[in-house]
Chains A and B, each alone.
Chain A
Amino acid sequence: MADYRTPTKDLLFALRTAGMIDQISASKRYEHATYDVVEGVFEEHGRFFNEVWAPTNALGDTEGLEWSEEGVTTPESFKDAWAKYVEAGWQGMNLDPDYGGMGFPEVVYGLSAEATIGSNAALSMLPGLTTGAVELLQNWGTEEQRERYLPKMITGEWSGTMNLTEPQAGSDVGLSTTRAVPQDDGSYRITGTKIFISFGEHDLTENIIHLVLARTPDAPAGTRGISLFLVPKFLLEEDGSPGERNDVKCVSIEHKMGIHASPTCVLSFGDEGGATGWLVGEENQGLNAMFTMMNAARLAVGVQGTAIASAAYQKAVDYAGERLQGREVGSDQRGPAPIIVHPDVRRMLLEMKSYIEATRNLTTHLAASLDMSRTTEGDDSEGWDERVEILTPVAKAWCTDVGVQVTSTALQVFGGMGFIEESGVSQHFRDQRITPIYEGTNGIQAMDLVGRKLPIRGGAAFADLVAEMRRIVDELEGVEEMAASRAEIQAAFDELDTATKWIMEHGIADPRDALAGATPYLELFGLTAGAWLMARQALAAREELANGADAGKEFLEGKITTARFFCEQILPKVRSLTPAVTSGHEILYEIDAEALAST
């Protein structure tokens, strides 16, 4: 079975269409990131991950991790994969050039992350979290903190972690109790226990920089009393090199369904008197700082949904071309045919491909919106910002829900072999299953969408975005091959309007009504936004076909077919979702909790 192949052609198409790279690189800040430059970078970047990381993926899954008092040992093959990654300098992609980064736009980083994740989802957690930690320090750290920590983190010689969750504080981070007591020298003593800390301990980098949420002694209760601290595994010497071990210890690692080679750690701070930490930003402002990182992290998890689905799809499509079963209906060939000729298998593959392209378009457009908000000013910038706020929970939740579904379908294409570990496709399914859960469950994302994002500017931000999306209906007018798609898109916008209006009206009267329909509403919006971007994809492909088809005629025609399939055959699902959005919360409570449990 062929190994992972970074879908570079698809990534580049997304970059120049939904990714708006020409607009972004027209700005001073990103003038170095022209399409041609990124194309050259992606070719080498993709090859690196295909050849260096992908071969370690199954090895990491089967070998797993080893915990001991001294620390966590990662799979043998990861050492070389990580060393080469650091040597090549990929960690710096979107990070601050003042500290050694390459300063590329978020859209380039987001698309490049598909190679990182698709080639090895477990290992990709390490650079992903490090990037998050760097961005946090870039925004909130003091000049001294940035100078001491960022250069080594941006090379990947040191890594970073995010310490939010505690046993009693999961989605509700306000319940956290880790304590931080100020010392005379300006540092803080940190004591407490954090759980689910990805790459909280490992042997791939010479230092680990933990960013830890904790409470100072007189902090107010709840989320308003949380501060953020920098706690290195090894305290730095005067010259900046790692020295004495800090009082933070990995006391165990979790045994998980997937991403076996990503250590999920329980970290204990202060078993021997207190770990030394330094405040990042201001006291009690920790959650604000964390939120800047969280938007980026949610986008990144959305990309995981697409990347893992895409890796699974590659395996499925290869298998379907090789596996001989059944005769081809309507053919005079007597022998068994590759299953790819059977209509039902075709349906599975086309559905997967369409979904993958739609989710890729959505995260790409979201990342590009982030870049646009940074490179424009005034109302323009604010408009892009609002778009980022609205699309973030949708990208996180919809792309990962779809990702699980697509990865499951990939397994289905394999038939019985899909359930056998040897096929390799089941690893993708196990790895994928975490994505709807972490970084804010998809239920939390749906609540965020209806509770915080719909009401932005009294609902006007949302209305502006939908009005712009709806313009696609006009743009499709007269495009014959898209006529059926256009009709479905128009119908979907009508459904969306009905659902949005209902949520806005009923949500104010009784928030339970909005929350009860939040998840189907998010899916409805995800499908509609996906269709909007797929229709734009079709129009862009038509234009490229008319202009000489540099990307290849077959490739571009395929883009139109997947767009049509998505709009004509997947999008109509929205009609089944509106009733669930608009039925209110009552029925959910008609059976009381005890009756739900009694069987």
Chain B
Amino acid sequence: MNVVVCVKQIPDPADPGALDPNTKTLKRDVKLILDESDSYGVEMALQLVDTAGGGEVTLVSMAPNSEVGGLRTALAMGAAKAVLVSDEALAGSDALGTSKVLAKAIERAGEADLIITATESSDGYTGTVPEQIAELMGLPSITFAKSIAVEGGTVKVQRQTEAGYDDVEAPTPAVVSVTAGVVEPRYPSFKGIMAAKSKPVDEVTVADLGIDASQVGWAGAGQEILEIAAAEEREAGTIVEDDGEGFQKIVDYLAELKVI
């Protein structure tokens, strides 16, 4: 079974970069790493291929400056190869522009039984790309998967809901977004890291994918960022002394918030 996983390479959240005041977007000229929320999809894909007893995991990513830092991590975890779209024309792409590029890159990655994504990236948080990819490719879309099984030509998913989960299924190939935290992503092994050095990364431009540059980047973006502002500083919390009736204060507080 072949699985394609869409992965995003983002600035390290532990060492966050700045927003560019001109473009009002995150500066991405720093070293990028694998978005942690994508590591769950990579892990799930590797497990699915293991269970199937054959096939491979291919990564698809769009990133500036031919960045492969994050791809190498996922390759070291066990993915076989990657398609990287890197093109100056892509700067400023909105979610739909990104989806158009990823959809074409997924096609380039070869026949896939399943396309896995995260539910949303940890830097942009639009949370709409997986569904857009499915629509553009004419494939079924299943979101918020907590587990995935593929049998015959059917993908069976436990789809997380507020109350629990729904059992849903769709014919393959399908686009499935995976909820963060549902599997424990493996750490790359030493041998895996060494092997990743020589795994193929197919780097392509917008033109290679047959996309008109005016459809992506700033040119194609159907959205505009008007203003950016720093988040308000968090206010100091309230400290309540427990005089033996602390529980009542918690109950009152929750009632005030109308959550109970």
Chain A interface (Cβ within 8 Å of chain B)? 5, 32, 37, 40-41, 43-45, 47-48, 51-52, 84, 87-90, 92-93, 102
Q: Which of A32, A43, A47, A89 is B190 in contact with, Cβ under 8 Å?
A: A89
Say whether A37 contacts B194, CB under 8 Å: yes
User: What is the interface of chain B mostly: helix, strand, loop, or mixed?
Assistant: helix
Q: Is the CB of A44 within 8 A of B194?
A: no
Q: In the complex, what's the smallest C-beta–C-beta distance from B100 to chain A, in angstroms?
A: 32
B158 close to A (CB within 8 Å): no
Using a Cβ cutoff of 8 Å, how many contacts connect chains A and B?
39
Contact between A89 and B187, CB atoms less than 8 A apart: no
Instruction: State whether B190 touches A92 (Cβ < 8 A).
Output: yes
Cα-based distance from A32 to B194 in the complex (angstroms): 9
Q: Is B199 an interface residue (CB 8 A)?
A: no
Closest to B76 in A: A44
| Assembled-state Cα–Cα distance A188/B15 (Å) | 58
Among A5, A37, A43, A92, residue most surrounded by chain B Cβ atoms (within 10 Å): A43
B258 interfacial by beta-carbon distance below 8 Å: no
Contacts of A43 in B (CB 8 A): 69
Q: Which residues of A contact B14 (CB under 8 A)?
A: 5
Between A and B, 26 residue pairs with Cβ closer than 8 Å are: A32-B194, A37-B197, A40-B72, A40-B193, A40-B196, A40-B197, A41-B190, A41-B193, A44-B76, A44-B187, A44-B193, A45-B190, A48-B187, A51-B187, A52-B187, A84-B187, A87-B187, A88-B187, A88-B188, A88-B189, A88-B190, A89-B190, A89-B191, A90-B190, A93-B190, A102-B194
Chain A, Cβ-Cβ closest to B33: A43
Q: Is B147 an interface residue (CB 8 A)?
A: no
Least CB separation from A86: chain B residue: B189
- Most chain B CB within a 10 A radius of its CB, from A32, A40, A84, A92: A40
Residue of B nearest to A47 (CB): B187
B47 within 8 Å of A (CB atoms) = no
Check B141 for interface membership: any CB of A closer than 8 A: no
- Chain A proximity of B9: nearest CB distance (Å): 13
Closest residue to B72 on the A side, CB-wise?
A: A40
Q: Which residue of A lies closest to B30 (CB)?
A: A552
**Complex Cα distance A93/B193, Å?**
12
Interface size on B, residues (CB 8 A): 15
The reply on B86 being an interface residue by CB < 8 A is no
Q: Is the pair B73, A44 in contact by a Cβ cutoff of 8 Å?
A: yes
Q: How far is the CA of A48 from the CA of B193 in the complex (A)?
A: 12
Shortest Cβ distance from A84 into B: residue:
B187
Q: Which residues of A contact B72 (CB under 8 A)?
A: 40
State the CA gap A181–B189 with chains docked (Å): 44
Contact with A along B129-157 (1 / 0, CB 8 A): 00000000000000000000000000000
Chain A nearest CB, measured from B110 CB (Å): 26
- Cβ contacts under 8 Å, A89 to chain B: 189-191
Other A-B contacts than A37-B194, A102-B194, 6 sampled, CB-CB below 8 A, are A44-B187, A44-B188, A44-B193, A87-B189, A88-B187, A89-B190
Give, as a whole number of angstroms, the nearest-CB distance from A98 to chain B: 15
Chain B residue with minimal CB distance to A48?
Answer: B187
Residues of B within 8 A of A44 (CB): 73, 76, 187-188, 193
B14, B69, B72, B194: most-surrounded residue (chain A CB, <10 A): B194
Report B27 CB to chain A, min CB distance, Å: 14
With a cutoff of 8 Å between Cβ atoms, the chain A residues found around residue B193 in the complex are 40-41, 44
* Distance of A102 Cα from B192 Cα, bound (Å): 12
Chain A neighbourhood of B186, CB < 8 A: 87
A90 cross-chain contacts in B, Cβ below 8 A: 190
Q: Which residues of A have CB within 8 Å of B189?
A: 87-89
A-chain residues with CB within 8 Å of residue B197 when the two chains form the complex: 37, 40
- A83–B197 Cα distance when bound, in Å, is 25
Chain B, range 57-81, C-beta contacts under 8 Å to A: 69, 72-73, 76
* Measured CA separation A41–B188 after assembly (Å): 10
Residue of B nearest to A34 (CB): B197
* Shortest Cβ distance from residue A320 to the other chain B in the assembled complex, whole angstroms: 19
Interface centre among B14, B193, B196 (most CB of A within 10 A): B193
Nearest Cβ on chain A to B29's Cβ, whole angstroms: 12
A87 neighbours in B (Cβ, 8 Å): 186-187, 189
Interface members, chain B 72-95 (any A CB < 8 Å): 72-73, 76
CB-CB contacts below 8 Å: B190-209 with A: 190-191, 193-194, 196-197
